[in-house]
Structure 1
Amino acid sequence: MPQSLPARTLILFGLVNLPLSMLMSPAAAILPNFYIEHTAVTLGMMATVTLVSRLFDGITDPVIGVLSDRLGSRKPLMLIGALVCALSVWQLFRPAPEAGLGYLLRWYLLLVLGWTLVEIPHSAMAAELSRDYQQRNRISMWRQILGFAGGVLFMASPMLLGQGRAFTPQVMAALAAFVALALPLTLVVMCWRVPEPRVHGQHRIRPGDMLQVFRTLPWLRHFLLTQVLFGLATGAVSALFVIYASQYLGLGDSIARIALPFSLAMALSMPLWLQLLRRVEKHRLWAVSAPGVMAVLLVIINIEPGPGALMPMTLAMILFGSMLGLASLVLPSMLGDLVDADLAHNGRDRAGILFAFQALVIKLNQGVGGAIGLSIPAWFGFSAEGALTDSAVTGLKLAFAGWPCLLLVPVMVLAWRYPLDRKTHAQLGATMAAQQTPES
C-alpha cells in the first residue's frame, strides 16, 4: 500500500488553483458585461474576442502540453505562466474608459496564454504526485475544492468589498491585485515545498506525439468521447441556468441565492464522494451519477413559476452541483490513470499532452454546449424582450433538460463500460515497477 500523501502537501499543491480558478470561468461570466458598461467595447467585439481566443486555445494548448512533457520539469512553465497572468490580469481588469477591441484582445489572449502555461503543467504534475489509484482521488479533491473556493471568492468579492452585488471598477481592480500577488506567491511556495516527481526511462517526447497518442492509447478516445458528451450536456445547463430561473421561473432577483449553495455543494460534496470512491470504481460512480443528473433536470422543468419556486429550485441545483462535484473529482483522476497506462504500454509520460487535450475539450464544450443550449429556445421563438409564449417555454425546457438528458444516456453507457478499472490499474503499476527495476 503506497504511503498516503500528507494533507499539508496536497493543500500547498492545490492552493495554486485558488487564484488560478478566478481567471477563466468567473472572469468569462463577468468580463463581457463589465467591458460593455465601462469601456468602448461592444457586444460584437466581445463575440470576436471569444471566437479568436478559442482558435488561439486550439494552437497553444497542445503546444504547451508538448513543452511541458519535453522540459523534464513542469515548474519552469508554471512560474513563467504566473508572471504572464499577473501582468495581463492587472491590465485586463483595470481598463481605461476608452479601451477598445485591440486592448481587450491583446490582454485577454495574454491572460489565456498565462493561464494555460500554469494549468496544463499543474494538472500533469497532479497526475504524477502519486501513481496510486485511490491517492489520485485525494489529490484531485484538494485541487478542485481550492479551485471552487477561488470561484466563490470571486463571485462574493463585491459584497466582501462593500459594493453590493456590482462588479465595479474598484472591485475588479482589487481582484486584479489579489490574483497578481497570490498566483506567483502560491506557485513559489509550491515549487519550494512540493517535490516534483521524476519519471524514469521514458522516451523523448516529440511534436508528433500530439497525434500519435490517439493511436497508441485507445482508451483515451473512449475517455474523451464520454467527457465531450457530458460537457455538452452540462454546458447547455450552465448557459441556460440564469435565463431559465429568471425568465421562466421569475427568480431574477434570487440568482445569487441559488448560485452560492450550488457552488458550495460542488465543493462540500467532494469529501463524501471521496469516501464512496474507496469502495466504488471511479467510472462506475460517474456512470450512476448520469441518471441522477437527468432526474434533477426533469424535476426542475416541473417546478411551477413564481416565488414558491425558489426553495425547490435551490434544492435541485444543490443536487446538480453535487453531481458536478463528482465529475470534477473523478475526471482528472481518471485521466491521471491514463497517464500511467501510456507510461506502462508505450514508455512515455505524456501527461502534459493528455491534460492539454482535456483542457481544450473543456473550453470547447463550454462554448459549443452553451451555443447549442441557447439556440434551441431561439428556434422555438424565445426572446428575452417579449412575453413568454407556450412555444418559447417548450423550447426552454427542451434546451435545459431534454437535450442534456439525450446526451447523458450514452454517457451512462460509455462511462459504465470504461475499461480502466482498479484491477487493470494495479496491473499497470506492476508493469511500470518492472520497467523501472534495474537489470542485475
Structure 2
Amino acid sequence: MTSAADAAGATPPLRRVRPATMFAYGFGAAAYGVKDFCFSTFLLLFYNQVLGLPSAEVGFAIMCALLFDAFIDPAIGFLSDRTRTRWGRRHPWMYAAAVPIALGWLLLWNPPAWSHGAMLVWVFATAVLVRTAVSAYEVPSQALSAELSADYDERTRIMAYRYLFGWTGGMAMLMASYGRFLADGLLDRQGYVGFAIAGAAAMFTAILVSSLGTHREIERLPRPEIVRGTLSENFRELGETVRNRAFVTLMGAGLCFYSAQGINYALSNYLYAHVWHFAGADFQWLALSLLLGVVVAFVAAPRIAHRIGKPAAAMAFMASAAVLVGLPYALRLIGLFPLPGTPWMLPLLLGIYGLNAACGVASTILGASMMADVVEHSEIQTGRRSEGVFFAGAFFIQKCTSGLGIFAAGAILAIVGFPEAAKPGTVPAATLDRLTILFALLYLVLGLGAAALYWRFPFGKDEHLARVERLRAAV
C-alpha cells in the first residue's frame, strides 16, 4: 500500500486504483457525455429545423465559438497545473464548474424570440459559456487520470471507466430525449424545455458526485514544485511542452477522428430520419446498440492493448471504425442493403453501428491512455509535469472538432441542396445519395488518417516503465 507521504511527491505511484475511486472518477465523465452527445446531435437540428435558422449560418456561429477555446483550454490547463490549495490542483476547478455548466445549458436551449441576427449571437454567446464551463471541469478532471497512477495498464483501465460512464451518460440522455422529451417528434419546440432541464441536472449531479468521490485522493496526488517566472517565461515553457513529439502525434490523430465523429453526430438525425426512416422505438434500440458497443470497448480495449500494445491496438480499432461507419451506406448505394421497413434492415444496421461504436470508443480510450503516458515522456525532457496542459490540448481538439463537425455538416447539407424543415420521405433520392456519399468518404479519409497517426506513436510499455523508474529514482 502506498502511503500518502510517498504519493505526495512529483511522480504518481505505480498502483491499482481502488474501485470506489475508479467509479467516482469515471462517473464525472457523464457530464461531458450529456453535453457532447446532445450538443453534437441536436444543436444544429434545433436551431435549423425547429427555429428555422439557415444551417450554414448556425454552423458558422458555433464554429466561431471555437476561437475562444483556442485561449480558454490551454489557459485552464496551465493554471490548473499551477494551482496550489488545500484541495489540491484539480478539485477547486472541478467544484467551481458545476453551476455555470447547468446555467449555460439552460440558456442554450431556451433562446428568446429575437431577430435572426440576434439569435445567431445568442447561439454564439451561450455556446461560449457552455464550452468554458465544461473546460473548467473536464480539463482538470482528465488531468487526474495521469496522477491517480503511473502504471501503464492501469491508466487504460482508468480511461476505460471514464469512457464507459461518458458514453452511458450520453446514451441515457439520448434515450430519454427520443423516448420522453422528444417523443412527439424532433421538431417539437416544447419538448426541448424538459430536455434542457434534465441535461442541466444530470451534468450538475455528475460533477459533484465525481468531485466528492475523488476528494479523499487529494493527499495522494503529486504536488510538484512550481518555479515562478515571468509571463514570457511561462509562455516559453508552454511552447516547449506542446512541441513534444508524442503529444503532437496524438493531437493529429484526435483532430482526424473527432472531426469525423463530429460530422457523424451532426448529420445523424438527418440520416436516421431521411435515409433509414427511423421512428419511435427505433431510436431507443439505436441507443441501446451503441451502449452495448461501448461495453464491448470497455472490456476489449484494456485486454487487447495489454497483448499488443496501445499504439497497435488503437490503430487497428480506428481503421475498423472508419470502414464500418460507411459500410451500410455503400451497400445501400449498390442495392445490397435491406430497404427501410424490411425485417432485416434495423437489426443489421444496428449491429454495424454497435461494432463501429465499440471500435471507435476503444481507439479513443487508448488514445487518452497514451496521452497520460506523455506526461512522463515530457517530464524527462522538460523537468515539468504538465498534465493539465496536455489534457487541455486533447480536450481542445475534442471541442474544436465538435464545432467543426457541425460547421462541416451544415456545409454538406448546403452543398447537396438539403431542404429546410424537410419531412421524412419528401427529400429527393438524388439528394440523399449525394449526402451519404460525401459523409461516408469524408469519414473514411479522416478515420484512416487517425489510424496511421496512432501507429506512429513513438513509445510503448517498456519505455514508459523505464521512464517512471528513472523519475522515481531521481526524487
TM-score by length of 1: 0.86
Counterpart of 1:144 (choices 150, 163, 171) is 163
**1:260-279 superposed matches below 5 A:** 260-279=288-307
Distance 2:404 2:178 in 1: 32
**1:255-334 superposed matches below 5 A:** 255-300=283-328, 301-303=330-332, 304=337, 305-308=339-342, 309-334=345-370
Per the alignment, residue 134 of structure 2 pairs with 115
Q: 3-state SS of the aligned residue for 1:413?
A: helix
Per the alignment, residue 77 of structure 1 pairs with 93
Q: Per-residue CA shift, 1:184-208, capped at 9, x if unaligned?
A: 3542343245545114456558233
Per the alignment, residue 388 of structure 1 pairs with 428
Task: Say whether residues 1:213 and 2:241 are aligned partners.
Answer: yes
Q: 3-state SS of the aligned residue for 1:326?
A: helix
- Alignment gaps of 5+ in structure 1: none
Task: Say whether residues 1:416 and 2:455 are aligned partners.
Answer: yes
**Equivalent position amino acid for 1:343 in 2:** E
Q: Per-residue CA shift, 1:362-404, capped at 9, x if unaligned?
A: 12222334544554575455557564344x4553343232222
**Equivalent position amino acid for 2:240 in 1:** Q
Per the alignment, residue 191 of structure 1 pairs with 215
Q: Is the 8 A contact 2:44 2:266 kept in 1?
A: no
Q: Is the 8 A contact 2:37 2:174 kept in 1?
A: no
**Equivalent position amino acid for 2:259 in 1:** L
Q: 3-state SS of the aligned residue for 1:333?
A: helix
Distance 1:369 1:38 in 2: 20
Distance 1:393 1:248 in 2: 7
Task: Say whether residues 1:251 and 2:278 are aligned partners.
Answer: yes
Per the alignment, residue 399 of structure 1 pairs with 438
- Alignment gaps of 5+ in structure 2: 1-12, 186-190
Counterpart of 1:12 (choices 24, 27, 39) is 24
Over aligned residue pairs, what C-alpha RMSD do you find?
3.3
Deviation of 1:145 after TM superposition, in Å, equals 1.2
Compared with structure 1, are the counterparts of its residues 416 and 350 closer, same or farther at alpha carbon in structure 2 (3 Å cutoff)? same
Greater CA deviation, 228-237 or 76-85?
228-237
Compared with structure 1, are the counterparts of its residues 247 and 83 closer, same or farther at alpha carbon in structure 2 (3 Å cutoff)? closer
Distance 1:84 1:250 in 2: 38
Distance 1:219 1:277 in 2: 18
Q: Per-residue CA shift, 1:175-231, capped at 9, x if unaligned?
A: 43444455335423432455451144565582333322233x222222212222222
**1:337-356 superposed matches below 5 A:** 337-356=373-392
Aligned pair count reads: 434
User: Among the aligned pairs, what percent are the same residue?
Assistant: 20
Deviation of 1:109 after TM superposition, in Å, equals 2.6
Distance 1:233 1:43 in 2: 18
Q: Is the 8 A contact 2:40 2:402 kept in 1?
A: no
**1:152-163 superposed matches below 5 A:** 152-158=171-177
Compared with structure 1, are the counterparts of its residues 66 and 164 closer, same or farther at alpha carbon in structure 2 (3 Å cutoff)? same
Deviation of 1:315 after TM superposition, in Å, equals 0.8
Counterpart of 1:58 (choices 48, 70, 73) is 70
Per the alignment, residue 470 of structure 2 pairs with 431
